[in-house]
Structure 1
Amino acid sequence: TGNLLKLHMRSHSDERPFACDICPGKFKWEKTLQDHKLIHTKEKPYQCDLCERRFRTRSQFRNHRFLHSGLRPHVCPICSKDFNRPWNLRLHMKTHAGRFPDDGEETKADKMA
């Protein structure tokens, strides 16, 4: 519908129709504004049932819960070290400073395939 198209087009624009009434913050989405307002109240409504840490936003909570899963799907193609987050792998890759796997070298990622 036209309304869905309008919402989609907002994602490509600089339009920020949702303003915080406490600070100058402006946001594209109402949910983002609601999450932002929790910064001012110090409220953390999302609690992990495994370790009891609390989080302001659902996305922070989901990212945290992934740590408890034990999954480490991001594998270094050079040394086969695995990571739970893509940015940890990217940071690790800097330690190799331009090294790449030799032709025919089997990595952990190859063995898992």
Structure 2
Amino acid sequence: MRHLPTHTDERNFHCAACGKSFRQLSTLSQHRAIHSAERPYACEHQYTLMRHLPTHTDERNFHCAACGKSFRQLSTLSQHRAIHSAERPYACEV
């Protein structure tokens, strides 16, 4: 019974604070947290949030020592570094 509404556009669960509607009560319950000061997931997701935040700014704290190009995330810089080496881990098969 909980699954059936996912196949229709019925949204019977409404948020009293903003009027947004949902198919499932559980989704409405999760949504309600945005209207309160309660942040139940802050600690568990802190690392992910901190990694995500720079995508909303022009802040580029990771610099390539070889060419000076800068990146928002360390993982992107790590991928970039491969262009300065002879290493070619992704060979074209065509």
TM-score, normalization by structure 1: 0.40
Structure with the larger helix share: 1
- Higher Rg: 2
TM-score, normalization by structure 2: 0.47
